[in-house]
Chain A
Amino acid sequence: MAKFTFTLNGAPATVDIDPSTPLLWVLRDHLGLTGTKFGCGAAQCGACTVHVDGEAVRSCVYTIDSVEGAAVTTIEGLSKDGLHRLQKAWIEHQVPQCGYCQPGFIMAAAALIAQQPKPSDADIEASITNICRCGTYARIKQAIRSAVMP
């Protein structure tokens, strides 16, 4: 066990935990933030995507010892009121079907547009490699495109 301190959605957080614990389980089981989802547990699907120092990270394989001193943002902290421009676009385009994977998609998309304010379709396809079993990819692309429109 070891103590790790980091910033979580703008507030300080400390956990005393095995260093090999995935960030996902720290968030969900120890800190009660269940918006981030477990999908595959092998970094394949992206349902667990959060930001660490602004970069998208697949938290199911990202151990807590790499988070010491970092700034972590989850879907709960993406915006104060749940109305980040991507979240508004998601509502406008009625993107989710079952919805389970969508927090991961939105976090990946947020990291993309923070670094590339005008991503092309090719940029979106290369950057957003998350998996949606409902097949909502077309609406996800539409929502990202509309979120970055002036």
Chain B
Amino acid sequence: MFARGCHVGVGRLCLTLPVAAIVAMVSGAAAQDAKDPRSVALAAYDRIATVLQSPRCINCHPRGDRPTQADDRHVHGMNVQRGADNTGVAAMRCSTCHQAHNNDLAGVPGAPHWHLAPRSMGWAGLSKGEQCRVLLDPRNNGGRGVPELVAHMTGDALVLWAWSPGRGRMPPPLSIEEMKIALEQWAAAGAPCPE
């Protein structure tokens, strides 16, 4: 057995380092990050991206005309289409099945103003950096600046549904409180995007 805290694994190798050296490395890196707002913001965006790329967000941010559904992100059943106003087509609107609240008996999720994000905010398949740049571009996001984006991501009823997704659906990997903190850190440093 290895002594706790003394070993760094590299593949099948295990390198023995003094505990003091590891503590110095970690605390040194943390101290450097703390002084560099951009590093803090980029680290925060890494956490934000795990939410934005979770099924709860990305299922309704397709780049094409077909949304996906469920945690495995399969193509939405019933031939659901985007439609001209992002709420489906005549006789097959989002509201044909989705109400303003979850229906856990039937398994149909619901929240106020259920709809797809506009095509300009399609994120499926984008890298973190690409998604960040799309998100920030006012030509794509409805003319929102960073404060409005943060307000949307922390206050919109449909966005907040992600944290109460109903039976059989996983919430995003961060709690809403963790998401708010990450967004504040990201915004405070000018909302930088990863490469």
Stretch at the interface among B35-43, B91-99, B121-129, B153-161: B91-99
Given A57-B96, A60-B106, A112-B91, A44–B81 Cβ distance below 8 Å? no
Interface positions of B from 75 to 122, Cβ below 8 Å from A? 77-81, 89-93, 95-97, 99-100, 103, 105-108
When the two chains form their complex, are residues A63 and B78 in contact, meaning their CB atoms are under 8 A apart? no
When the two chains form their complex, are residues A55 and B95 in contact, meaning their CB atoms are under 8 A apart? yes
Q: Number of A residues whose C-beta is below 8 Å from B?
A: 29
Residues of A within 8 A of B96 (CB): 43, 55-58
Assembled-state Cα–Cα distance A108/B97 (Å): 13
Q: Number of B residues whose C-beta is below 8 Å from A?
A: 20
Partner of B77, one of A22, A44, A116: A44
When the two chains form their complex, are residues A56 and B93 in contact, meaning their CB atoms are under 8 A apart? yes
The yes or no answer to A34 lying at the interface (CB within 8 A) is no
The A contact surface, by secondary structure, is mixed
Assembled-state Cα–Cα distance A55/B77 (Å): 19
When the two chains form their complex, are residues A42 and B107 in contact, meaning their CB atoms are under 8 A apart? yes
The yes or no answer to A143 lying at the interface (CB within 8 A) is no
Given A44-B78, A56-B96, A58-B96, A22–B90 Cβ distance below 8 Å? no
The yes or no answer to A35 lying at the interface (CB within 8 A) is no
When the two chains form their complex, are residues B89 and A127 in contact, meaning their CB atoms are under 8 A apart? yes
Residues of B within 8 A of A112 (CB): 90-91
Assembled-state Cα–Cα distance A61/B107 (Å): 9
Residues of B within 8 A of A39 (CB): none
When the two chains form their complex, are residues A41 and B106 in contact, meaning their CB atoms are under 8 A apart? yes
When the two chains form their complex, are residues A42 and B89 in contact, meaning their CB atoms are under 8 A apart? no
Given A61-B103, A66-B99, A55–B93 Cβ distance below 8 Å? yes
A-B contact pairs, 9 of them (CB 8 A): A57-B96, A58-B96, A61-B103, A61-B106, A63-B103, A66-B100, A109-B91, A115-B91, A123-B89
Residues of A at under 8 Å CB distance from B?
A: 20, 22, 41-44, 55-58, 60-63, 66, 108-109, 111-112, 114-116, 119, 123, 125-129
Residues of B at under 8 Å CB distance from A?
A: 77-81, 89-93, 95-97, 99-100, 103, 105-108
